[in-house]
Amino acid sequence: MTHKIAILGASGYTGAELIRLIATHGGMEIAALGANSKAGQSMASVFPHLRHLDLPMLSKIDEIDFSGIDLCFCALPHKTSQEVISALPSHLRIVDLSADFRLRDPAEYEKWYGNPHAAVELQKEAVYGLTEFYRDQIATARLVAGTGCNAATGQYALRPLIAADAIDLDHIVLDLKCAVSGAGRSLRENLLHAELSEGYHGYAVGSVHRHMGEFDQEFSALAGRPVAVQFTPHLIPANRGILATTYVHGDAAQIHQVLADAYADEPFLQVLPYGEQPSTRHVRGSNFCHIGVTADRTAGRAIVIAALDNLTKGSSGQALQNANLMLNLDETTGLMLAPCFP
């Protein structure tokens, strides 16, 4: 049985990545592609790498007939997403890739995003889409909120450690190295090749990046007390990848064991042998996340490094994994592509 799906925001990178993954899925048919600014164009003209696929034309979102659609991916910009989703038919199951439904507390949302939430009821209903930790709720949810790509990476490194009380909650440093596709296809001077290539820098320094809201929400809930990590993302001259270097206080061997146990049965989370290091190049274009644990020479301290592809496991791959759960399909369908190296 083939499920009919729609993708809203198909002209952005996460939309294109969804199509790339669904192309070999087998159980999904792309019935509609919404992209208001490029309505009337073909995907072949917007993303020539998808020209071999037989896809519907891009159309305005309010002209899409959702009656036969089983599930809708919403890859729209933040704020737009909540407006569009509010207007979608209530039968529709939705996987949202924006930031709009990640934070459960409307006050936290407003604090981090600067505007009051326009769909508070939906916000309450939404399930946080970090698959491995919300699997059961996702399977039955109507609306799943995809996580931030940085937030996913950091949580894969740290959640089991917080849950197992294996690290000191007051000394967590999260230093992230992020590839540029995470910033999307927007026209900004600092995303130009000539600006970015051959250089790198930190941004949102001071733990003020919006994905902090997710770390605060998730880590504090897990610990049963407020947890405030230090988090600095850096923009790296590469297209895909997030590498999260986390500095923690705890016993490295125990930390490795906790992570290995936690992810033993996970198809996509791979804990490397103790002391080995992950690299973004080894997960590129795939839904895998590699995690390495090493002891610091200072006793009682450890470094946990996680690597994933921001567009795949950090965004569209996660979304497809959640959609598979919601449609009662094998969770890994369309997601077992090996990384593309070199």
Beta carbons within 10 angstroms of residue 68's beta carbon: 10
Using CA atoms, how far apart are residues 114 and 97, in angstroms rounded to an integer?
19
Q: Give the residue carrying structure tokens 């077992």.
A: 336
The residues carrying an active-site annotation are: 149
Out of 4, 79, 111, 281, point to the residue binding a second copy (CB under 8 A). Answer: 281
By the rule CB under 8 A, 87 interacts with a second copy: no
Q: Is 206 in the site for a second copy (CB under 8 A)?
A: yes
237 binds a second copy (CB under 8 A): yes
Residues 323-342 that bind a second copy (CB under 8 A): 336-342
Distance from C-alpha of 212 to C-alpha of 112, rounded to nearest angstrom: 8
List the one residue out of 174, 320, 165 whose CA is nearest residue 233: 174
Which residue's CB is nearer to a second copy, number 193 or number 225? 193
**Cα–Cα separations (whole angstroms), residue 331 to 32, 126, 321, 336:** 23, 20, 5, 10
* Nearer of residues 254 and 277 to a second copy, judged by Cβ: 277
The answer to the question of residue 207 lying near a second copy (CB under 8 A) is yes
230 binding a second copy? (CB under 8 A)? yes
Window 10-49: contact mask with a second copy (x via CB under 8 A): ---x--x--xx--xx----------------------xxx
- Report if residue 107 touches a second copy, rule: CB under 8 A: no
CA dist., res. 8 & res. 46, Å (int): 14
Q: Should residue 303 be labelled a site residue for a second copy when binding is judged by CB under 8 A?
A: yes
Site string for a second copy, 167-186 (x = CB under 8 A): ----x-x-x-x--xx-x-x-
Q: Which of 122, 90, 93 is nearest to 106 (CA)?
A: 122
